[in-house]
């Protein structure tokens, strides 16, 4: 086995705990279909133990540790993760199929960046806001929301975790983390880093598990908040459970985002960004702009150029530096994408490149990068997420307003972009498209700005300074006299 070894215990309460059952998952190399390692599968008793540990670690209303202690522990964790960069990057590339450089940048780089972004905000917890009231004063406190259940997906297992964990730690919350079984093995390396960083026992706990046990975690009476990234279908279920419990929940779900090319679109610039814009992580990225909306006057030109660009990308082992498109995460996911491709052909969409398995790659979960042309906006492939290396190209007639209307004709609202020589017009288009994030003439992502979706793309925001709000709750204390000195922070 390369990078990643068998594991036989869970990280709970600051130590390695024997599982309550002998059930286990096997991590599979997406490029070879061979086992990478084996790790235990959590059951309800393990969830009970992890939640109890997280509640003990939470302590009182201020959460675990002082602001200085939390910030210092977060920096130690960043360093511990950096020392495991190669092992984590290689393992994630093998699990997910992400080309190695991208696996490192988008996971280890994002995780350490997020820890260092949120650590200085830890002292926000200790700022009480004194406001004059009609009678006396109002003392407004920020307090940690409590124990957070974090359910993270397989496509970016570290970055999607630290979207949640970094602000939660800074605000004094504790965490019970359920990684995806598809990428659960890498979570043990993260747990090693957590242990090395010296967090108090119970602050961070890891439990790879199937969906049924995940639902038990979501509804556990010891959990105060749920943060989830994953499919819209799973998000609806989690949202319904949390709604019944009146439990706060953040949901970052799917997308079917559109890239709008205006009449003056700089086509070479689009092609330079096309990989990161529409095929990032072999298509396994919720923010990918998988719909290209093109003025009819330039339709053939754009289809030909996009097709030639995509057809030239090398497909292969994610550990090979020359690989641009790697395999997808597993056999079931490959089968789902292939069903999507069949549906597109049945609807009458035209495959201009790809559409099957790459020749010569008989092992591994490979799907050719695919372009569908002549796609009507009403087609299944124009409306549903493939979560694979597939884009659709649709023509629009007439005005910019018509292109915006086509972009907005979606159940999703996560990302998008516009391509134009007129940046001012591009910004106007960005304001008009009903989506959570939007780019003008490039593909971008910024941990310093809020990220979230509309409609079927989710509830709430992560990232940016605003990301701490999901892990705070407010208390107002009515006082007749303003506090002075140390009394401001009296328990």
Structural domains in the chain? 10-253+457-489 (3.40.605.10), 258-440 (3.40.309.10)
Strand runs (DSSP E) across 283-415, as ranges?
Answer: 291-295, 350-353, 370-373, 390-396, 412-413
- Rounded to whole angstroms, the Cα distance separating 106 from 406 reads 31
pLDDT tier at 5, thresholds 50, 70, 90: confident
Q: Is the pLDDT of residue 4 over 90?
A: no
In the prediction, which pLDDT does 484 show?
74
Left if phi > 0, otherwise alpha if psi is -120 to 50, otherwise beta: which for 416? Answer: left
Residue of 93, 272, 106, 82 lying closest to 193 (CA atoms) = 82
Average pLDDT of span 480-485: 79
Which pair of structure tokens corresponds to residue 442? Answer: 């490039």
Residue 491: pLDDT over 50: no
Exposure string of 111-139, with b = 16+ CB inside 10 Å and e = fewer, is bbbbbebbbebbeebeeeeeeeeeeebeb
Q: What is the mean pLDDT of residues 405-409?
A: 96
Q: Give the pLDDT band of residue 243 (cuts 50, 70, 90).
A: very high
Q: How far is CA 122 from the centre of its chain?
A: 23
pLDDT tens sequence across 348-365:
999 999 999 999 999 999
Q: Which of 62-76, 116-130, 164-178 has the lowest mean pLDDT?
A: 116-130
- Confidence (pLDDT) at 3: 39
- The count of other CB atoms within 10 Å of the CB of residue 297 is 10
Quote the CA–CA distance of 40 and 454 in Å, as a whole number. 36
Cα 13 to Cα 11: distance, rounded to the nearest angstrom: 7
Q: Is 486 exposed, middle or buried (0-12, 13-18, 19+ CB in 10 A)?
A: exposed
Residue 38, burial from CB neighbour count under 10 angstroms (0-12, 13-18, 19+):
middle
Helix (H, G, I), strand (E, B) or coil at 417: strand
What is the rounded distance in angstroms from the CA atom of residue 428 to the CA atom of residue 212?
45
Q: How far apart are CA 399 and CA 454, in angstroms?
A: 25
pLDDT in tens, 426-463: 999 999 999 999 999 999 889 999 999 999 999 999 99
Contacts of 175 (CB under 8 A, 6+ apart): 54, 147, 148, 149, 150, 164, 165, 168, 169, 203, 204, 205
Confirm if 247 and 224 have CB atoms less than 8 A apart: yes
**pLDDT value of position 489:** 54
Report, as residue numbers or ranges, the catalytic residues.
252
Residue pointed to by tokens 């977060």: 74
Provide the whole-model pTM: 0.93
* pLDDT, tens only, 35-94: 999 999 999 999 999 999 999 999 877 899 999 999 999 999 999 999 999 999 999 999
Q: What is d(CA 27, CA 187) in angstroms, rounded to the nearest whole number?
A: 12
CA pseudo-torsion sign 99, 101, 106, 107: positive
User: pLDDT tens, 284-301?
Assistant: 999 999 999 999 999 999
pLDDT on residue 62: 81
Distance in angstroms (rounded) separating the CA atoms of residues 463 and 479: 34
Q: Exposure of 312 by Cβ count < 10 A (0-12 exposed, 13-18 middle, 19+ buried)?
A: exposed
Cα(410)–Cα(489) distance, rounded to whole angstroms? Answer: 48
Residue 125 confidence (pLDDT) above 80: no
Q: What percent of the chain has pLDDT over 70?
A: 98
β-bridge pairing 416-419 and 370-373: unpaired
Contact between 46 and 86 (Cβ < 8 Å): no
Neighbours of 490 (CB within 10 A): 8
Across the chain, what does the average pLDDT equal?
94
**Can you say whether residue 141 is alpha, beta or left, with left for phi > 0 and alpha for psi between -120 and 50 degrees?**
beta
Burial (0-12, 13-18, 19+ Cβ within 10 Å), 401: exposed
* Residue of 386, 384, 382, 385 lying closest to 394 (CA atoms): 382
- Residue scoring higher pLDDT (10 or 483): 10
pLDDT of residue 123: 84
Closest CA to 413 of 449, 461, 463: 461
DSSP string for 344-377: HHHHTPEEEE--SPPTT--SS-----EEEES--T
Q: Which of 416, 434, 452, 50 is nearest to 250 (CA)?
A: 452
């Amino acid at each position: 086995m390369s990078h990643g070894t068998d594991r036989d215990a869970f990280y709970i309460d600051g130590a390695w705990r024997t599982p309550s059952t002998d059930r286990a998952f096997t991590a599979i190399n997406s490029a070879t279909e061979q086992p990478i390692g084996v790790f235990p599968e959590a059951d309800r008793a393990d969830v009970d133990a992890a939640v109890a540990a997280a509640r003990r670690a939470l302590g009182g209303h201020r959460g675990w540790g002082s602001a200085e202690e939390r910030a210092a522990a977060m920096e130690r964790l960043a360093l511990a993760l950096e020392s495991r960069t190669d092992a984590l990057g290689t393992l994630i590339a093998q699990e997910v199929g992400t080309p190695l450089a991208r696996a490192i940048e988008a996971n280890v780089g994002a995780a350490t960046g997020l820890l260092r972004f949120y650590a200085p905000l830890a002292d926000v917890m200790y700022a009480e806001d004194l406001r004059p009231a009609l009678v006396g004063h109002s003392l407004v406190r920020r307090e940690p929301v409590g124990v957070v259940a974090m359910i993270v997906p397989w496509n970016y297992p570290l970055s999607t975790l630290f979207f949640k964990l970094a602000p939660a730690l800074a605000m004094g919350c504790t965490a019970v983390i359920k990684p995806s079984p598809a990428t659960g093995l890498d979570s043990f390396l993260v747990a090693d880093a957590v242990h090395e960083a010296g967090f108090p026992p119970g602050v961070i706990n890891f439990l790879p598990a199937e969906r049924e046990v995940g639902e038990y975690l979501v509804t556990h009476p010891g959990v105060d908040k749920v943060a989830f990234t994953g499919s819209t279908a799973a998000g609806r279920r989690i949202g319904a459970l949390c709604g019944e419990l009146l439990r706060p929940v953040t949901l970052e779900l799917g997308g079917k985002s559109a890239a709008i090319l205006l009449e003056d679109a700089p086509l070479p610039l689009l092609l330079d960004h096309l990989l990161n814009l529409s095929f990032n992580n072999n298509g396994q990225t919720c923010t990918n702009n998988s719909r290209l909306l093109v003025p009819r006057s330039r339709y053939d030109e754009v289809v030909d150029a996009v097709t030639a660009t995509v057809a030239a990308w090398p497909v292969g082992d994610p550990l090979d530096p020359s690989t641009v498109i790697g395999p997808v995460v597993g056999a079931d996911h490959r089968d789902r994408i292939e069903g999507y491709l069949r549906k597109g052909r049945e609807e009458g969409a035209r495959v201009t490149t790809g559409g099957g398995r790459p020749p010569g790659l008989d092992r591994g979960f490979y799907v050719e990068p695919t372009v569908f042309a002549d796609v009507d906006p009403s087609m299944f492939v124009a409306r549903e997420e493939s979560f694979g290396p597939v884009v659709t190209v649709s023509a629009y007639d007439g005005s910019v307003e018509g292109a915006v209307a086509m972009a907005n004709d979606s159940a999703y609202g996560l990302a998008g972009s516009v391509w134009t020589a007129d940046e001012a017009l591009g910004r106007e288009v960005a304001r008009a498209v009903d989506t959570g994030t939007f780019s003008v003439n490039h593909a971008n992502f910024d941990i310093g700005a809020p990220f979230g979706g509309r409609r079927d793309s989710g509830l709430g925001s992560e990232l940016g300074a605003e990301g701490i709000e999901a892990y705070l709750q407010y208390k107002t204390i009515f006082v007749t006299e303003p506090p002075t000195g140390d009394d401001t922070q009296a328990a």
